Amino acid sequence: MTPQNLIFDYIADVWMDGDAEGLEDETPIAELNIIDSAGIYDLVHYLQGEFRITVPLQDISLKNFRSVSTITALVDRLQKADRAAEEVGGAA
């Protein structure tokens, strides 16, 4: 399963009673009250556990959690940064 699919499923299961109808890549999940600011922290915890990433505090903002698409982009960026750091650390 892709990160995007896992994120879709998690949001649907936790905040939409398992029904993802109307949830698209660019659906503004905070603006539509699908998820609130406290829910973003729950989602951060899920992302860190599921994708083995660390979401820096400065990245926990509505800009990065606006939609499934922006959340997926954040996960991709953090995974790439982690891989790059591992490569640098392994080369030392």
Reported as a single tens digit per residue, the pLDDT across 46-66 is 999 999 999 999 999 989 999
Note if the pTM is more than 0.85. Answer: yes
Asked whether the beta carbons of 73 and 4 are under 8 A apart, the reply is no
In DSSP notation, 6-26 reads: HHHHHHHHHHSTT--TT--TT
Sorted by where each starts, the structural domains of the chain and their CATH numbers stand as: 3-91 (1.10.1200.10)
Percent of the chain whose pLDDT exceeds 70: 96
What does the pLDDT average to over 12-39? Answer: 91
Closest by Cα among 20, 59, 18 to 40:
59
What does the pLDDT average to over 22-51? Answer: 93
**pLDDT-based confidence at residue 75 (cuts at 50, 70, 90):** very high
How far is the C-alpha of 15 from the C-alpha of 73, rounded, in Å? Answer: 21
